[in-house]
A and B are shown apart, each in its own frame.
Chain A
Amino acid sequence: MVYEDVVDPYPFPESLRKEILNELEKIKPTKKIAKKIVEKCYQAYLSNLVEPGEAAGIVAAQSIGEPGTQMTMRTFHYAGVAEINVTLGLPRLIEILDVRKNPSTPMMTIRLTEEYAKDRNKAKEVANRIEATYITDIADVATDIRNMRIVITPDERALERKGFSFDELKKKIEKGLKTEVVEEGRKLVVQIAEPSFKTLMDTFEKLRKLVLMGIKEIRRVIIRKEGEEYVLYTEGSNLKKVMKIKGVDFSRTTTNNIYEIYEVLGIEAARSALIREAISTLEEQGLEVDLRHLMLVADVMTVDGELKQVGRHGVAGEKQSILARAAFEMTVNNLLEAAVRGDIDNLSGITENIIVGQPIRLGTGDVELIAKINMGGDNK
């Protein structure tokens, strides 16, 4: 590693630096030749950088948009991943860029801590703690109208499978309904105090919706073996609660709900999640889009410290120009409203300047000549 002091004065990105060092190590040139090689590399690196004034956003939009058209034609339906339905293709891509708070198919990938990941029974234990369990999953519930009561007949096998005891069940129901529950053999009875049919039905509904165990949002958990460890896939998502469950390795647990990631893990995590979700959606469709385009989009969506959506109107909240908006959609409405409000167009964007016939502020149009004119009176 003698070449480091030759390479290090140049501000190469980390991956490029490593590559150059590796190559130098292979051919083992003298210091002097090495310096020349590195100099050449640096020239090549500089000439490959995006130039100032380059319309990087337009290039990114086109590079994502063109493959997007192929996506429309091929898919508009769902495909199964680990027996869980997940939105894919164009609908999913739109969902990602729109930053929907509730995506149509939220899903989590939960990895477990060492102790739980190796053993199927232990993994099942964690799955039970996460999956929402309702009374109908583990018992038969019937209303007894004549005696104004609800009779719950627990299914012993279901109870055992869920790792739930009879007493626990009783306590949970008592707590959830805030009424007394009477044991009758292996049955539980909820007696309605006032003889009203409505109260009975209301209590019945409440009982059915009571989450006895697990997290409300998580409707289903599937255990899959991946390599050495068991991984849980869930339908529904609640990152904040799942992270706190015992046995869950929170640092490797993710969700496909980007807004949730933003809320729980912050803006930078949301940025990485955006890129990851977008590229995996595109790749799954067999489309190759350079990562840099998606990184640019993700950067723009997160610059202000909060997630902003991008749609056909551009990044939300931007584009104040009236002319640009009028050129896009609802020309008359936009112009009329702007006139009523007395809006001013600063002609700072591209579209406006094309409309009025000025050079646009892009590429070579973005530079201006500044001359220092001597205004003093000393030498004329």
Chain B
Amino acid sequence: MKMKLQDHMLVPKHELLSKEEAEEVLKVLNVRKEQLPKIRADDPIAKEIGAKPGDIVRIVRDSPTAGKSVVYRLVI
């Protein structure tokens, strides 16, 4: 059985953004790519979703204060 690390209760949902989505996100947030928090390309979850350096990952966390919180990380 292949384990999916993303199923672990400590890991929030990660999804890889397409080029268009990534641009849209940067425009809405009004930031440059480099200003986003980072995630390493050798991060186990980044590897699992096949993220390459320069990609942007959307992370949907379950937040105890806001219910759901969406953050973005730049793959480095």
Of the listed stretches A72-80, A248-256, A326-334, A338-346, chain B binds A248-256
Inter-chain contacts of B8 with A (CB < 8 A): 250-251, 265, 269
Do B67 and A266 touch (CB < 8 A)?
no
If the complex has contacts A252-B9, A268-B11, A269-B11, are A305 and B66 also in contact, measured as CB distance less than 8 A? no
Inter-chain contacts of B45 with A (CB < 8 A): 265-269
Inter-chain contacts of B67 with A (CB < 8 A): 13-18
Is A23 engaged at the interface, CB distance under 8 Å to the other chain? no
Inter-chain contacts of A276 with B (CB < 8 A): 10
SS of A interface (majority): helix
Give the CA-CA distance A293 to B40 in the complex, in Å: 25
Partner of B11, one of A265, A295, A303, A306: A265
Question: Would you give the 0/1 interface string for A261-292, flagging 1 where the beta carbon is closer than 8 Å to chain B?
Answer: 10111111100110010000000000000011
Do B69 and A304 touch (CB < 8 A)?
no
Among B11, B12, B61, B68, the one with the most A-chain Cβ atoms within 10 Å of its Cβ is: B11
Do B12 and A268 touch (CB < 8 A)?
yes
Minimum CB–CB distance from B59 to chain A (whole Å) comes to 6
Inter-chain contacts of A250 with B (CB < 8 A): 3, 7-8
Do A305 and B37 touch (CB < 8 A)?
yes
Partner of B10, one of A15, A261, A291, A304: A261
Do A305 and B39 touch (CB < 8 A)?
yes
How many chain-A residues does the 8 Å CB contact rule pick out? 32
Which residue of B has the minimal Cβ distance to A299? Answer: B37
Do B38 and A304 touch (CB < 8 A)?
yes
Question: Would you give the 0/1 interface string for A8-22, flagging 1 where the beta carbon is closer than 8 Å to chain B?
Answer: 000001111110000
**Which size bracket describes the interface of B in this complex?**
20 to 34
Residues of A149-181 contacting chain B, CB below 8 A: none
Do A267 and B65 touch (CB < 8 A)?
no
Is A302 engaged at the interface, CB distance under 8 Å to the other chain? yes
Minimum CB–CB distance from B34 to chain A (whole Å) comes to 12
Give the CA-CA distance A324 to B59 in the complex, in Å: 35
Is A243 engaged at the interface, CB distance under 8 Å to the other chain? yes
Minimum CB–CB distance from A105 to chain B (whole Å) comes to 20
Do A13 and B11 touch (CB < 8 A)?
no
Is B44 engaged at the interface, CB distance under 8 Å to the other chain? yes
If the complex has contacts A303-B37, A303-B38, A305-B38, are A13 and B66 also in contact, measured as CB distance less than 8 A? yes
Inter-chain contacts of A251 with B (CB < 8 A): 7-9
Minimum CB–CB distance from B17 to chain A (whole Å) comes to 16
Give the CA-CA distance A251 to B65 in the complex, in Å: 23
Do A13 and B10 touch (CB < 8 A)?
no
Is B14 engaged at the interface, CB distance under 8 Å to the other chain? yes
Is B26 engaged at the interface, CB distance under 8 Å to the other chain? no
Is B43 engaged at the interface, CB distance under 8 Å to the other chain? yes
Partner of B39, one of A244, A254, A265, A267: A267
Do A291 and B66 touch (CB < 8 A)?
no
Do A266 and B37 touch (CB < 8 A)?
no
Give the CA-CA distance A315 to B65 in the complex, in Å: 25
Minimum CB–CB distance from B53 to chain A (whole Å) comes to 11
Is B25 engaged at the interface, CB distance under 8 Å to the other chain? no
Inter-chain contacts of B11 with A (CB < 8 A): 265-266, 268-269, 272
Inter-chain contacts of B64 with A (CB < 8 A): 291
Partner of A14, one of B7, B10, B66, B76: B66
Question: Would you give the 0/1 interface string for A305-328, flagging 1 where the beta carbon is closer than 8 Å to chain B?
Answer: 110000000000000000000000
Inter-chain contacts of B63 with A (CB < 8 A): 13, 15, 295
Is B46 engaged at the interface, CB distance under 8 Å to the other chain? yes
Do A265 and B44 touch (CB < 8 A)?
yes
- Inter-chain pairs besides A265-B11, A267-B45, A268-B61, 19 sampled, C-beta below 8 Å: A15-B66, A250-B7, A251-B7, A252-B9, A254-B9, A254-B10, A263-B44, A264-B44, A266-B43, A267-B73, A276-B10, A295-B63, A303-B37, A304-B37, A304-B38, A305-B43, A305-B73, A305-B76, A306-B40
22 A–B pairs (Cβ distance < 8 Å), ordered by A: A13-B63, A14-B66, A15-B66, A15-B68, A250-B3, A250-B7, A251-B8, A252-B9, A265-B8, A265-B10, A265-B11, A266-B11, A267-B39, A267-B73, A268-B11, A268-B12, A268-B39, A292-B65, A304-B38, A305-B39, A305-B43, A306-B40
